[in-house]
Chains A and B, each alone.
Chain A
Amino acid sequence: MIFQGIAAAPGLAIAKCLRIQPPQQFAADQSITREQTEAEMARFTQAVQQAAAELAAIADNARARGQIDQSEIIEAQSLIATDPTLGEGVQQKITLQLISAVQAVRLTIDEQAAIFAGLEDAYLRERAADVQDVGQRLTDILLGRPRVDLSGLSEAVALVAQDISPSQLVTADAGHVRAIVAETGGQTSHTAILAKNMGIPAVLGCRGILAAVADGELLLVNGDTGTVETGLPEERQAAASRELERRAEVQVSLRELIGQPTRTRDGVAIELSANIMNPAGAEQAVQIGADGIGLYRTEFLFMDRLSAPSEEEQLAAYRQVLEAMQGKPVIIRTLDIGGDKDIHYMHNPVESNPFLGYRAIRICLRQPELFMTQLRAILRASAYGQARIMYPMIASLEEIRAANQILQQAKDSLLADGLAFDANLPVGIMIEVPSAAVMADVLIDAVDFFSIGSNDLTQYTLAVDRLNENVSELYNPFQPGVLRLIRMVAEAADRAGGGKFAGICGELAADPRATLLLLGLGLTEFSVNPAALLKIKKIITSVEKSYAQDVAAKAMRLSTTNEIMNHLEASMPAELRHFLV
């Protein structure tokens, strides 16, 4: 049986299930007499002291192991345990409602958790889980109940729970926890953050799993796809074990590439960069030795909040990314909203055809104040590293001119304000609208670089909405019509010379089947998600550009998607073929 949850931390694991049972429910009637109130208050006070001491010890241990994030999460829990608001709530319930300390803690914790659950900020909403975690610790202490202790596991396990609390995870014997599966939780929960930090694959929000598995049963947990498989036949187990060994070997060999230049075997340098959505992504990009940031999606800075970020706030984020990259190039894409990414405070109208509607540069050109603020922030940040600016959804030369005009105004205003910026900041455009690809030979004169957004270019060229399941099968970036557009873009940049270049930042860039083709067509910059970067680097550094050119030339002579894909797979050198699966 296969369960689908949320892929919260990447990786694959096969291990025996260990269930963490949900806490018992309390009887509704937990009333006490007036004479008992003092004793119950004393019990509560003592429980708080014990909880705080336990949490302090856990935090100290985590800190001693160098797990700073972990220790800070637990220290925050310790403050919740000793919180005066919690204490007052419990005291009122014990003395006025005449209920037991356990019941009073339960009710107060639920009230407080409900406040968090109602908040706008996704991060703070997830803190309800921390409040519940503290409540669980307090009630366990009050009831003298043994707590699930994961610190001394004797064998490798996949933990399965209603909700795995951060404190449980931090104390867990990380060497033996191979996977984490929970019915609740999402990508921004502390459990997800900790699991990623500890390198443990996690599937959260996996409903119905707890009742369907037994302790000791083998589970195959895939944190990349968010699936959990039970009832594994022997051959499936064997295949999964082989896959795990293979991944381990591949990982070791890929990590050797960190710090090596990205160059084909015949010496052609390629800029292999990472796609990121926030400053934390830049740290990750540095760790895997990315040559730069090829797509910084700034719209995430604008999402999940009440109003647009100020120039200063944007500057801080952009500057952080540029400084983290230590002089390596960072392509900052201006606001790309609309389509499937809505920002409620912008009050954009609901459209019947959002992908053909009011989105990205179209919004920015109609709302110049919004655009100006972002351009000023990017320009100011350019003083701290090698920034490049990129406009999304460009369909015509007029749009580039209009955007550049606002950019010029932004530069003039910074000069007037006496603020520093990189006067030679390169300006490029995303190529995702077919008209821009067809006009690439003209547009290149107005910009410094192109970056192909293969996802949108494919869906616009083929007129296929890939979210529409009736037609999503028709979506295929290897379709010869799409590839011809990509070739036009690469050739236009190549012919222009003068340091102008064409790159790609869509999902196709991270698809190993496409690497030889894209390289051979003449793209010189690839920007991929960090998880795929070393894989693509391995392919680029293992082949000769001249071979890739032959492969691409032949692909362009083929006339159907299938022929092209078969040819590309067959052209992959044998030692790299395992990347195709």
Chain B
Amino acid sequence: MVVTHPTGFHARPAALLVARAGKSKSNVSIIFNDKTVNAKSMLNLLGAGIRQGSRIVLVVEGEDEQQTLADLTQLIEQLPE
């Protein structure tokens, strides 16, 4: 998917994402620029340098993967400004 939030994953969008990913029982990772980062990690997510327009792949594996994927996809698409 493509990140549309104007600042990319700056502190607030990243914090929202980490908070939701952290509630999931599944492993959640994001692939960006050929690197895989743990979406439950604020450091990883901010450090990945994801911007507006960045193409990312969201990978969720685990018992609640369907719900987590749906929630996170919606969250990234509708990040508040």
- Residue numbers of A with Cβ under 8 A of B are 72-73, 75-76, 79-80, 83-86, 112, 115-116, 119-121, 123-124, 127, 130-131, 305-307, 309-310, 312-313, 316-317
Complex contact A79–B47 (CB within 8 A): no
Given contacts A316-B6, A317-B6, contact A76 B14 (CB under 8 A): yes
Q: Cα distance A313–B14 when bound, in Å?
A: 19
Q: Is there an interface contact between A112 and B11, defined as CB atoms closer than 8 Å? A: no
Q: Which residues of B contact A305 (CB under 8 A)?
A: 51
B53 at interface (Cβ–Cβ under 8 A)? yes
Q: What is the minimal beta-carbon distance from B46 to any residue of chain A, in angstroms?
A: 6
- Give every chain A residue within 8 A of B44 (Cβ-Cβ): 83, 85
- What is the size, in residues, of chain B's interface with A at 8 Å between Cβ atoms? 23
Assembly CA distance A259 to B18 (angstroms)? 43
User: 8 Å CB contacts to A: which residues of B5-48?
Assistant: 6-8, 10-12, 14-15, 18-19, 38, 40-44, 46-47
Contact A116 B46 (CB under 8 A): yes
Find out whether the CB atom of A313 lies under 8 angstroms from the CB atom of B53: yes
Closest to B15 in A: A76
Main secondary structure of the interface of A (DSSP, over half): helix
Q: How far is the CB of B7 from chain A (nearest CB, A)?
A: 7
In the complex, how many angstroms separate the beta carbon of B33 from the nearest chain A beta carbon?
A: 11
Complex Cα–Cα for A76 and B43 (A): 10
Q: Bound state CA distance, A84 and B19, in angstroms?
A: 13
**Interface status of B49 (Cβ within 8 A of chain A):** yes
The residue in chain A whose Cβ has the minimal distance to the Cβ of B40 is: A84
Q: Once the chains bind, are B52 and A313 in contact (CB under 8 Å)?
A: yes
Bound-complex Cα distance A282 to B31 (A): 36
Given A83-B43, A307-B53, A316-B6, 12 more A-B residue pairs with CB atoms under 8 Å apart are: A72-B12, A79-B42, A84-B38, A115-B47, A116-B46, A121-B8, A121-B49, A127-B46, A305-B51, A306-B51, A309-B53, A313-B52
Compute how far the CA of A255 lies from the CA of B11 in the bound complex, rounded to whole angstroms: 34
A85 close to B43 (CB less than 8 A)? yes
Chain A positions within 8 Å of B41 at CB level: 83-86
Task: Please name all residues of chain B whose beta carbon is closer than 8 Å to the beta carbon of A123 when the two chains form the complex.
Answer: 7, 10
| Chain A residue at smallest Cβ distance from B41 | A85
State the Cβ distance, B39 to closest chain A Cβ, in Å: 10
Q: Report how far A72 CA is from B11 CA in the complex, Å.
A: 8
Tell whether, in the assembled complex, residue B52 and residue A112 are in contact, meaning their CB atoms are under 8 Å apart.
Answer: no
Show 28 residue pairs from A and B whose CB-CB distance is below 8 angstroms, ordered by the A residue: A72-B15, A73-B11, A76-B12, A79-B15, A79-B19, A79-B42, A83-B43, A83-B44, A84-B41, A85-B43, A86-B41, A112-B43, A112-B47, A115-B47, A119-B49, A120-B49, A121-B49, A121-B51, A123-B10, A124-B10, A124-B47, A124-B49, A305-B51, A306-B51, A312-B4, A313-B6, A313-B53, A316-B6
Q: Which residues of B contact A119 (CB under 8 A)?
A: 47, 49
Contact of B42 among A73, A83, A124 (CB under 8 A): A83
* A310–B53 CA distance with the chains assembled, in angstroms: 8
